[in-house]
Structure 1
Amino acid sequence: MSSNYAGIQHILDDLDKNSFISQYDVLKYEHTTVKFQLRLQIKFIDQSVLFTNEYIGSTIRKYAFHWQQFDNQSIIRWDNAPHFPKLSSFPHHKHDYRQALEIVTDSVDISLVEVLTYIHNQLTNL
């Protein structure tokens, strides 16, 4: 149980250290001996927002990382909901909304740190 607390504290400490993050809120945090769930809302310096939802059970990990503009227009969403079985990376996939149409592509089993690194790189290349 204490390792879960140490895990969330480490995550929050990392968020505090990132200068491209202007604010974050913990929307939900639950942990027991058999599960861990963390939902965050992270605002960036360009006013875009990342909504995170990560659930880790004894035999399963579910995640969704949804990045959107301040006006609620979606940018990218990474998740592992099992609704694109024909993708080679199933169930991991990415929804890209940056073009006129949504494009769903292969992805990897991505972490919050990797998503934040991606967003940081996008924001610093503006």
Structure 2
Amino acid sequence: MGYIVSTLIVGLCLYLVIQPFLSGKKQRWRTDELKDDLDDLTLEQAYATINELEMEYNMGKLPEKDYQSLKNQYERIAAKKLKEDAYSFERKTDEQKNGDETKDSSIEAEIDKELAELRKLRKGE
């Protein structure tokens, strides 16, 4: 009885190991859904990383080739974040200007309305 159970367990294990090789399908990894740690990197973190890279390079812990490639990568990330911040700042100021203009126009409309009412009252007297 013990031999039968152990044979079944070994057979099951062999089946589970060999089965992916025998199937005709080739599994593709979905790389578009992978999330990278650099996606959520802030501008301050990019600057801090560049600073750490410089310290490690100056201490001799990092080869020059790696230092240059990593420094270029983080400088590009920092430049991208600066552009995003500048663009969002411009959008906010444009929205504020548009909001101020609509407020100004509504205030002017109210003033015109009140002036018209006052003129009607004066003409009536």
TM-score bracket, shorter-length normalisation: under 0.3
Tell me the TM-score normalised to structure 2 length: 0.18
Which is greater in Rg?
Answer: 2
Tell me the TM-score normalised to structure 1 length: 0.18
Considering Cα pairs closer than 8 Å and 6+ residues apart, tell me whether 1 or 2 has the greater RCO: 2
- Considering fraction of residues, name the structure with more helix: 2
- Considering fraction of residues, name the structure with more strand: 1
